[in-house]
């Protein structure tokens, strides 16, 4: 039987964190690049004749080299059409190298041993910001979750070369903006307080649950100011969350997420959570501990309010032999009924 895995966070929801760990500087980010090209040098593992776009691409490439050939005359299986993707780091300069990802879009069986031809990499504005080229490595990408082979995607380490820089002028700015990675009013105010206490003056203003405006002190450059701000430690509150992975049957939850009183039936499993100070044990039922009783038919759970959390509910359901699908369905139903107040996310 497939087992469900429960990860329990054994720490408080209040953390000490650096500002750089929980926020971003607005305007300073990676930029996505994309391109289309051919991988050559494959050992008869490339696209077949059914991939018309590959044959047309080969013909176009040969034509640019003054070799005129019709796509229908090309029978090579040593070439594969690919999409090339990459992330261009902020402040990248001309000549900087970065990794690129190559993924087959035809019916190629493998890109192993292939070489990517020179590929223009464009941004969302359609302009070319980098070029990509090099030998494809599929190490670490050969198997999926089930162990099956997937050698149709690979990486070219340092295969990208920056051709056009994205100008981000921070040095001459007098103001900057921080954006929290997760929206939270308390954390926004905590950042404002931590920064203002550090400089002993009003340099930070929380505008909303994610935005903090900063004003550079006169005696610092913007780069020096942001470096200091990012290194400031503050009290950081994390919202309680339950994260469920339906594919793997994994549940991640905080240890203190309480479940409110509810009566729920799912299939042949009944869950009763009440507000009793002491938990009654119905006739024929078996007490596991002071907060949990399993019913006579071993398909009922009786739990006491205040001791019932997502963590011990999942463990109790496992004792009843509930499947991962049952446990996930029960948690989703409890969230819908308002018995669980924490945010629930299914991935």
46/22 same-domain check? no
Q: Are 36 and 82 in contact (CB under 8 A)?
A: yes
304/189 same-domain check? no
130/208 same-domain check? no
Least confident range of 16-25, 104-113, 313-322: 313-322
129/175 same-domain check? no
- Please say whether the dihedral angle defined by the alpha carbons of residues 189, 190, 194 and 197, taken in this order, is positive or negative: positive
Number of structural domains the chain divides into: 3
pLDDT in tens, 234-260: 888 777 777 877 777 777 776 677 777
Asked, for residue 65, whether it belongs to a domain, the answer is yes
Per-residue pLDDT, averaged over 205-215, amounts to 95
Q: What angle do CA 296, 298, 301 make, to 5 degrees?
A: 90
247/232 same-domain check? no
Q: Which of 162, 185, 216 is at the close of a domain?
A: 162
35/156 same-domain check? yes
137/51 same-domain check? yes
Q: Which of 111, 139, 162 is at the close of a domain?
A: 162
Domain enclosing residue 288, as ranges: 241-346
Statement: residue 274 has pLDDT above 70: no
233/253 same-domain check? no
Asked, for residue 5, whether it belongs to a domain, the answer is no
23/65 same-domain check? no
Asked, for residue 9, whether it belongs to a domain, the answer is no
d(CA 256, CA 289): 18
Q: Which of 144, 162, 180 is at the close of a domain?
A: 162
232/246 same-domain check? no
Asked, for residue 4, whether it belongs to a domain, the answer is no
Asked, for residue 255, whether it belongs to a domain, the answer is yes
38/143 same-domain check? yes
d(CA 80, CA 41): 9
229/307 same-domain check? no
Predicted TM-score (pTM) of this structure: 0.67
CA-to-CA dists, residue 282 to 27, 294, 296, 297, 300, angstroms: 62, 9, 8, 11, 11
- Name which residue leads in pLDDT, 274 or 263: 263
Statement: residue 175 has pLDDT above 50: yes
Asked, for residue 6, whether it belongs to a domain, the answer is no
């Amino acid at each position: 039987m497939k087992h469900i895995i429960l990860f329990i966070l054994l720490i408080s929801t209040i953390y000490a964190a650096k500002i750089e760990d929980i926020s971003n500087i607005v305007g300073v980010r990676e930029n996505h690049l994309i391109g289309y090209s051919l991988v050559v040098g494959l050992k008869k593992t490339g696209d077949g004749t059914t991939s018309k776009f590959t044959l047309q691409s080969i013909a176009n490439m040969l034509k640019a080299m003054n070799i005129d050939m019709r796509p229908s005359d090309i029978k090579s299986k040593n070439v594969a059409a690919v999409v090339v993707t990459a992330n261009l780091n902020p402040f990248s300069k001309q000549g900087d190298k970065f990794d690129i990802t190559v993924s087959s879009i035809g019916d190629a069986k493998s890109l192993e041993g292939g070489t990517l031809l020179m590929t223009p990499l464009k941004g969302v504005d359609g302009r070319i910001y980098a070029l990509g080229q090099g030998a494809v490595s599929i190490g670490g990408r050969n198997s999926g979750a089930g162990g099956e082979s997937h050698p149709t995607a690979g990486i070219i380490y340092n295969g990208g070369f920056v051709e056009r820089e994205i100008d981000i002028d921070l040095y001459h700015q007098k103001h900057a903006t921080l954006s929290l990675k997760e929206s939270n009013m308390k954390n926004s105010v905590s950042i404002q307080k931590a920064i203002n206490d550090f400089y002993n003056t009003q340099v930070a203003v929380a505008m909303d649950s994610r935005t903090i405006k900063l004003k550079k002190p006169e005696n610092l450059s913007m780069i020096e100011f942001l470096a200091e701000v990012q290194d400031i430690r503050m009290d950081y509150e994390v919202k309680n969350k339950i994260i469920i992975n339906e594919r793997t049957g994994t549940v991640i939850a905080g240890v203190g997420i309480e479940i409110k009183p509810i009566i729920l039936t799912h299939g042949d499993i009944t869950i009763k959570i009440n507000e009793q100070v002491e938990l009654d044990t119905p006739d024929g039922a078996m007490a596991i501990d002071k907060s949990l009783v399993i019913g006579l038919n071993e398909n009922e759970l009786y739990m006491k309010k205040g001791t019932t959390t997502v963590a011990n509910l999942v463990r109790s359901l496992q004792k009843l032999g509930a499947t991962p699908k049952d446990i996930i369905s029960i948690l989703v139903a409890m969230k819908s009924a308002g018995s669980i107040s924490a945010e629930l996310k299914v991935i």
